[in-house]
Amino acid sequence: VVTLELGRRPEILIAERERAMAGSTTVSYTENLRKYLDLPQNGSIQAEYIWIDGNNGVRCKTRTLTKKPDNVEELPEWNFDGSSTGQAPGEDSDIYLRPVAVYPDPFRRGDNILVLCECWNSDGVPNKFNYRHDCAKLMEAHKDQVPWFGLEQEYTLFDELDQPFGWPRGGFPGPQGPYYCGVGTGKVYCRDIVEAHYRACLYAGIKISGINAEVLPSQWEYQVGPCEGIEMGDQLWMSRFLLHRVAEEFGVKISFHPKPIKGDWNGSGLHTNVSTAAMRAPGGMKYIEDAIEKLAKRHKEHIAVYGDDNTMRLTGKHETGNIEQFSYGVADRGSSIRIPRSVAKEGYGYFEDRRPASNACPYQITGIMIETICGSLEQ
């Protein structure tokens, strides 16, 4: 029987989720496991090395350290098999992991750590998918402008049958309207995952600035920022790792696809809020306008790195601008660039680039943004 009513009974959803957890190869956090996690570590530290693969996904593996490092420079380089992650050919498969940032580990707690890494080839050049390297150079070159970013990461939760979580089997929920910032059964799903991720981010030192339920049922958003320079990409990638990792424990999948459901359903974006020191000072509107003028001239170059399948999302409908055309406006959610009403009123602050898709790489977005508004490395 296909039910088109919104919201299956909570006990059915819970039963489904428990089945998914039981069937998953990952741990479910039972009392049984807790017993082992409470065992002393005898001075050893577990370091989870995390990197970005060839498919915009995250990978990780753990090693034991004999001592807690005081800083990232003390962490050893490591390596992995790049032919298994789409990052290297089989005959030259060793990829090196160079630690770039360290965070407290909310899963293992104690002195255990998460280690974000850059990927380098054996011949000493950055791996093809290492977008951090160039981004860091641009941020370093323009650090006198003190660029700040705030990213709004939207995503959708899927169940083990690859259906949006909580949607009626073989059917659709009621039309959009009650879900955005919704409260109550049948309006929001998996608030437990959202809360767990929020707290895990805070524990790890991620500058998560908020969360909200989104327009599509089972779609959520969290924001990270403001972050300065290269820290933006580092923090967003770590927050994505934490989200996948938390959801794994609940038997639920995270989709960063920009148009998870075709049709009259909102897509997912990665709105990028930007400011420089000059924009944040009184009279800063002039610098915001200068930046928008430069952005208008490089629309295609920006779109090229603003995520895959973004054509499905940037249709000019569902609170987006059209992918073919650059536009901007005050408080206009149908444009490429939005100047918040409060910023226009005060005459300084920041602007929002609404074009990036939810699956875009934050190093590529913030890198090209700085290149366009502050100048390339050659200048």
Work out which of 165, 167, 350, 363 binds ligand ADP, going by CB under 6 A: 350
What does the per-residue mask of binding to ligand ADP show for 208-237, with x meaning CB under 6 A?
A: -x-------------x-xx-----------
Work out which of 148, 167, 198, 328 binds ligand ADP, going by CB under 6 A: 148
Strand partners, 65: 45
Work out which of 80, 129, 131, 149 binds ligand ADP, going by CB under 6 A: 149
Residues in region 175-214 near ligand ADP by CB under 6 A: 209
| Closest CB 319 distance from Mn ion, rounded Å | 8
SS3 371: helix
Count of positions on this chain that bind ligand ADP (CB under 6 A) = 16
Q: Does 152 bind ligand ADP (CB under 6 A)?
A: yes
Copy the structure tokens of residue 354.
């609404």
Q: Does 322 bind ligand ADP (CB under 6 A)?
A: no
Q: Which is nearer to ligand ADP, 47 or 274 (CB)?
A: 274
Q: Does 258 bind ligand ADP (CB under 6 A)?
A: no
C-alpha 54: how far from chain center: 16
What's the rounded Cα separation, in Å, for the pair 316 and 338?
14
Q: Which is nearer to ligand ADP, 120 or 148 (CB)?
A: 148
Q: Which is nearer to Mn ion, 155 or 326 (CB)?
A: 155
Copy the structure tokens of residue 109.
């707690």
Copy the structure tokens of residue 321.
């601008």
Q: Does 221 bind Mn ion (CB under 5 A)?
A: yes
DSSP 122-187: TTSSB-TT--HHHHHHHHHHTGGG--EEEEEEEEEEE-TTSSBTTPPTTS--SPSSS-TT--STTT
Work out which of 59, 132, 259, 271 binds Mn ion, going by CB under 5 A: 271
The partner in contact with residue 149, picked from Mn ion, ligand ADP, none with C-beta cut-offs of 5 to 8 angstroms by kind, is ligand ADP
The secondary structure of residue 92, as a DSSP letter, is G
Helices then strands, each counted (H, E), the chain: 10, 13
Work out which of 235, 268, 273, 366 binds ligand ADP, going by CB under 6 A: 273
What's the rounded Cα separation, in Å, for the pair 280 and 282?
7
Q: Which is nearer to Mn ion, 268 or 364 (CB)?
A: 268
Choose among 236, 12, 21, 253: nearest CA to 156. Answer: 253
Choose among 213, 218, 230, 232: nearest CA to 189. Answer: 218
What is the binding site for ligand ADP (CB under 6 A)?
148-150, 152, 209, 223, 225-226, 271, 273-275, 280, 349-350, 352
